[in-house]
Structure 1
Amino acid sequence: MSDISRRKLVVIVTRKLLGSTTLILGLALLAGRASGFVREVLIARELGLSAQADIAVILLTLPDLFVNILLAGGLTAALVPRLSVLSSSARSKLFWQSTVFAAAVFTIIALIVGAAPDSVLALIAPGYVGALDEQARFLFAVVCIAIPFTALSGISTALLNSQGRFFLAGTGTLIFNVIVIGGVVIGSSRGQTLVWLACAIAMGAFVRYGSQLLGIIDKVEFRIGRALYFDRRLGASFTYALIATSATLLVPVLMRSLATLLGSGSLAGFSYATKIVELPIGILITTFGTVALPRLSRMVDAADTGAAVAFYNRSCAKATGLAIAIAIPAIIVSRTIVGLVLGEDSFSAADLNLISELVRIGLIGLPLVAVSSMATAALNAQGRQNLLLKRTALSAMFLPFLVVPGLVLDDIRLLMVALVAFQAILAFSLWKLVKQKKFEHEKIV
């Protein structure tokens, strides 16, 4: 077989594998996101747009925030490229090193957050700073138990993704949400929805990590003690990626937090809308970036620039096209979607109309998220987390100006417009950066 024929065969096989892994991960994420939808629907129908609904959102925001930053952000961006190219022995060493480090650091963070909830509320719900009663504060502390287990799940997820085991990694969200759903159902029947919700969040994080650990424990060598060392390059990559990812993922949280300044129930309404918009993002759009990251990492490591560029362009076009195909019809029937999801009888017509308007605005950002997701994967694969951080920080500088109209005019819809505007600025900035660098082999860390 000639070299040209071999290359064509490799390309065909790669495309088929990409399609199958994308489908597998998509199915896993579909189950996870669908269960998350059920979770949100149950809470929405039980609590509506009320102060209790706002507290439920606050309780769920903390673990959700750490899940997005750690599982889908900093840890994945830093660990997956390294784990994808290491030998089995070195991979095991790095896995256990990261596990011990994450357990220590995030246990301390959980203790600090649980002891001083107002410091976190100032970020995720400024309208409730100093307004939580003793029970709500206790429940907030219970939820903090989920923080270290979420961090550990981030380590195990990175290992699974680096080995192409996307389904097992993706089912973690399903396990967590099923347990939370059970807590909400039991709590509703006993008139203690918030209490059972908080306990289920903590239990769900623990079981999620346990299930992933059981799935990988026989795949890694147990190396600890002298095997532990501080990898400066990985530490720098993780720091850059974590800050950049945090800046991006904190923006929707910031918008929701600002909504608390617009009256009781505004936080819940904004949260319901963003959850509906995030469903296709989590299931399909960002899947392309998740699947592409380990593949691009290996191409960059092998200095196969041409293949990396072609693979990136193809994946980016598919992700963006899919986002547009989803956004247009969803915008048209957004009112119907909101009514079906949240329930026509659980909200007033005015509330449903407002949420559907927020959903329509948010859906405009789907193609922008697709571009950002693929560009982020490309930059992480090249080890350019520092440049990713700089561009993200530069884009975030526009936020104070973007949110002013919504706060001044007391209009929650303008806060959603600000979110989409930020997504546009970030997408253009990252896309341009990837085009400039062209998958050069030199890694900047």
Structure 2
Amino acid sequence: MLRNYSLLFSLLIVNFSILLGRFSGFIREITIAELFGVSYNSDLAILLLTLPDILINLLVGGALSAAIMPLLAKESYKVSKVIICQLFFFFFFAFVAVSIILCLFNDEVIGLIAPGYKNEGDAISSLFLSSYFTIPFCVLTGVSTAYLQFNNKFIIPSLGTLIFNSTIILFLFFSDYYSVIGTLSIIYGLYLAVTFRYLSQLLVLDIWSGFKSIFKRWYIDSDFIRKYIQAMASGSIIFLLPVICRSVASNFSVGSVSLINYSMRLTEFIIVFSVSCISIVFFPKLTKSFRHSKTLFKDIAQFLLLLVLLISSTLSVCLYLNASEFVNVIFGSSLEKSDLDEVAELTSIGLLAVSFQSASLMVMSIFNAASKNKYPLIANLTGIIVLVITLYFYTPVDLIELMMSLLGVYILIFLIYMYLAISKLDFSFGFIFSLLLKCVSSVLIVILMNYIFNFSGISNYILQTFIPFIIIATVFLLLNKKKIKGMFSEKI
């Protein structure tokens, strides 16, 4: 019973912390919108702030947790400290080398991430160069996050985004107050944010005794590197999808990168709430259960997939039905009416893709927990190839067509993952059918309830959005109470 409450408490804490982080992300975007609007400078500010995260997701993604946790699960607590110290040493020097390589190929990086700004001169080039050396510290933060989460220490890692965004917001505020606001000040804020986030985790790490034995036996073997590369490739490929869309958007009119970024930030909120929080709390248990009992692993995996789909589908439909109000609540005071309308339209398309994204990411986590990293690679690589071919032969003329192309690819990836779940994870077709039926039923109930709770005003709009979700979530938990207790009370 205590284990159940511990998991529930951890889930609530992580949800609350990550939601604070996402809320701070909204405040960061609003701050940028207030300072720069939809302009050349706003595009540049967004690119500079997201560049390290883009590169980290491409080069690391969820690969660290996917590769590190199975390695830690095989060893004792004492040895795990040595492993983490070795990983600090290995990844720091590896990604310093990566940063140097990125500096050498700076023009090519700009051409890939923001081709519309490739010919903007030395000022843009120097700003991008300045941001690359934040990468090693971001990677070290990822290593410490994986270790802390493996040991059920969720609070500080889950506050990482809040610490990062709060630092950026405060730095932008003081830069504006002292009239020194500009793109260079964003670079200074970026380094401060990365440093504070990393230091916050160093303060709670208890691994320093591991440095005494760091070179006695090397645990980072070829099997770990192979799994890391597979997980990195699959994770980075699926992350490339929105990056490609931002890249294509930079070729449109000035401000297009800002518009598509604002809409993507809004939809990412649901993905974080439905997938990231659940994966953070349950991935260590999923990894351990695979070694302990394949039956227990399958039960937990199916339950988590159902939970993720229900959360993402109900929340996305609630927000889709009120997309204009949703966008207005976040950006109403910062953007022009025409820009708000376009962000709302883009967000509506993005919300249609959320359930497919969330389910795909959850199945990818399940495969990673089972150390079957090659199957997510197949699914995600297929999606990226289809998107590239689609954009090559059918060039979108505006952001709406671009988002529709992305939606189609997310649906394709979802279908591939469902096939792989049946063929490689032994999920039955009946389970997948039941899963989809429950989600469709919940969506229909949400639509009905949305019209029943047809309020007006911002505060009532928030109630109208979340009341259906809360009711469905409560009913789901009550109906599955015994199953949840049985799965998560078993000691591993």
TM-score, reference length from structure 1:
0.90
Inter-partner Cα distance in structure 1 for 2:209 and 2:316: 42
**Any gaps of 5 or more consecutive residues in structure 1?**
1-11, 441-445
- The 8 Å contact of residues 233 and 377 in structure 2, kept in 1 or not, is answered as yes
Aligned to 1:436: 423
Deviation per residue, 1:108-136 (Å, 9 max, x gap): 122232343222112211111121x3333
Please say if 1:350 is aligned against 2:326: no
Please say if 1:58 is aligned against 2:47: yes
Q: What is the aligned counterpart of 1:258 among 248, 251, 269?
A: 248
Deviation per residue, 1:161-184 (Å, 9 max, x gap): 111111111111111111111121
The worse-fitting range, judged by mean Cα deviation, of 85-94 and 43-52 is 85-94
- The 8 Å contact of residues 283 and 369 in structure 2, kept in 1 or not, is answered as yes
- The 8 Å contact of residues 367 and 373 in structure 2, kept in 1 or not, is answered as yes
Inter-partner Cα distance in structure 1 for 2:278 and 2:357: 11
**Any gaps of 5 or more consecutive residues in structure 2?**
428-492
Aligned to 2:235: 245
The letter for the 1-side match of 2:172 is V
Q: CA deviation at 1:395?
A: 2.4
Q: CA deviation at 1:194?
A: 1.4
Please say if 1:275 is aligned against 2:284: no
Aligned to 2:309: 320
The worse-fitting range, judged by mean Cα deviation, of 261-270 and 394-403 is 394-403
The worse-fitting range, judged by mean Cα deviation, of 209-218 and 37-46 is 209-218
Q: What is the aligned counterpart of 1:413 among 397, 400, 420?
A: 400
Aligned to 1:7: none
- The 8 Å contact of residues 308 and 439 in structure 1, kept in 2 or not, is answered as no
After superposition, the CA RMSD in angstroms is 2.0
Aligned to 1:145: 133
Q: CA deviation at 1:405?
A: 7.8
Aligned to 1:102: 91
Inter-partner Cα distance in structure 1 for 2:356 and 2:419: 13
Please show how residues 182-331 of structure 1 align to structure 2 within 5 Å: 182-189=170-177, 190-218=179-207, 221-222=210-211, 223-302=213-292, 304-331=293-320
Change in 2 beyond 3 A, CA 1:219/1:33: farther
Aligned to 1:6: none
The worse-fitting range, judged by mean Cα deviation, of 87-96 and 359-368 is 87-96
The letter for the 1-side match of 2:403 is M
The letter for the 1-side match of 2:420 is L
Change in 2 beyond 3 A, CA 1:118/1:205: same
Inter-partner Cα distance in structure 2 for 1:199 and 1:144: 13
Deviation per residue, 1:385-416 (Å, 9 max, x gap): 122212221222211243358734x1111111
Q: Secondary structure at the match of 1:221?
A: helix
Identity among equivalent positions (%) equals: 26
Q: CA deviation at 1:15?
A: 4.4
Which 4+ runs in 1 deviate beyond 6 A?
none
Q: Secondary structure at the match of 1:215?
A: coil
The letter for the 1-side match of 2:88 is T
The letter for the 2-side match of 1:140 is F
Inter-partner Cα distance in structure 2 for 1:430 and 1:332: 27
Q: CA deviation at 1:229?
A: 4.9
The letter for the 1-side match of 2:413 is L
Q: What is the aligned counterpart of 1:370 among 315, 340, 358?
A: 358
Q: CA deviation at 1:187?
A: 2.4
Change in 2 beyond 3 A, CA 1:109/1:386: same
TM-score, reference length from structure 2:
0.82
Question: Across the two proteins, how many residue pairs are aligned to each other?
Answer: 425
Deviation per residue, 1:21-71 (Å, 9 max, x gap): 221211121121111111111001211111111111110121222444567
